[in-house]
Amino acid sequence: MINNNKFKIGEYYFLLTEYPVDIEIPEIKTYIYIGKNIYESDQASEDEYYFQDPQDYFSGSSSLSNGLIVGEESIDIISDLTELISKLQKINELRIK
């Protein structure tokens, strides 16, 4: 799991979803980290981390319609590149057994 203080604004991170069937089928989505608790009006009970779709981010859009908001308790679903590679290697090992 990434140390939450290690997120860097403007860096890319990944959400890996696995569909359990006979083998694990990974789906990878890429997001750009744009900040923590970025709205002053947020009344969340926990810290919230905001991730934006790369296309929106690089077009200068402030839209979060294709983005992701992740609470502190669920932040371990987000991976950096090193973690993503490790997770994919584990899936691959299961697949070739």
Tokens of 11: 């860096």
How far apart CA 67 and CA 12 sit, in angstroms, is 12
Neighbours of 36 (CB within 10 A): 17
Q: What is the pLDDT of residues 38-93, one digit of tens each?
A: 876 656 688 899 999 999 999 998 888 899 999 989 999 999 999 999 989 988 88
0.85 cut: is pTM over it?
no
> For residue range 54-65, what is the model confidence (pLDDT) as tens digits?
999 999 988 888
Hey, where are the domains in the chain?
Answer: 4-96
Supply the pLDDT for residue 4.
Answer: 56
> Residue 24 contacts by C-beta under 8 Å, 6 or more apart in sequence?
18, 91, 94, 95
